[in-house]
Amino acid sequence: MNRRIFSFNIPVYQLLVILYLLTATGCMRYLTQDRSKVLLKNVDIDQTLAIAKVDLERHKKGSSLTMWAIRDQLFSPSQARLASELYFDYVEKLVSDFDRWHFTWAIANIYRQGDDSVKNILKQAYFDAARRARTVHNLADRMVNGDKLYLGDAHGGGRAYARKHVVVPGNLDYIQSYEDYLAFRKKKDRRDRSKRSKE
């Protein structure tokens, strides 16, 4: 098999070997199958879903990562409904396979770990995500449709992203509110504009 993914020009089997080596050497040290290791005490899913919507509206690469960062937390039925709405509102607008992979993975994990009420609400989004992941690439298919659940921030980059996008009041490793995120976003956008103007 020599199927290529993304625009990296890397065959899937080579990517799987690379991912295995990264996991074995500790680079993927935050990837686990144990949910108790990834649940965040006092996480505010409502505020984080508001952040996810802001990110998705930006239509840039990486815009699905906030949903991915909270995929293993506990969702109420109303939060699952909003996750489903965000999925159907934005999945067709995502700019990269990377985002389609991470958004489908997010919906799959929320569905598969949810209670019956969450599963009922997310059923259509989950079925769409499962179908869509098969068309993105083999790794996305494995994360979404495989027998094992892959939980956690995966690697240092995922952890750093989560800490700037997931609201966990009282845990100073994470942002404290939606307003904190908006201030961070404004500062980052200003810095990015300044950087582009100097180029």
Tens-digit pLDDT profile for residues 60-117: 999 999 999 999 999 999 999 999 999 999 999 999 999 999 999 999 999 999 999 9
| CB 77, CB 111: distance < 8 Å | no
**Per-residue pLDDT tens digits of the chain, which is 199 residues long:** 444 444 445 666 666 666 665 555 455 556 667 898 999 999 999 999 999 999 999 999 999 999 999 999 999 999 999 999 999 999 999 999 999 999 999 999 999 999 999 999 999 999 999 999 999 988 889 989 999 998 887 677 888 999 999 999 999 999 999 999 999 999 988 888 888 888 7
Determine phi and psi for 79, rounding to 5 degrees: -70, -40
Q: Please, which residues have CB within 8 angstroms of residue 22's CB and are 6 or more apart in sequence?
A: 28, 155
Pairing verdict, β 30-32 and 151-154: antiparallel
Please report, for the chain, the start and end positions of each structural domain, with discontinuous segments joined by +. 31-189
What is the predicted pLDDT for the residue at 97? 94
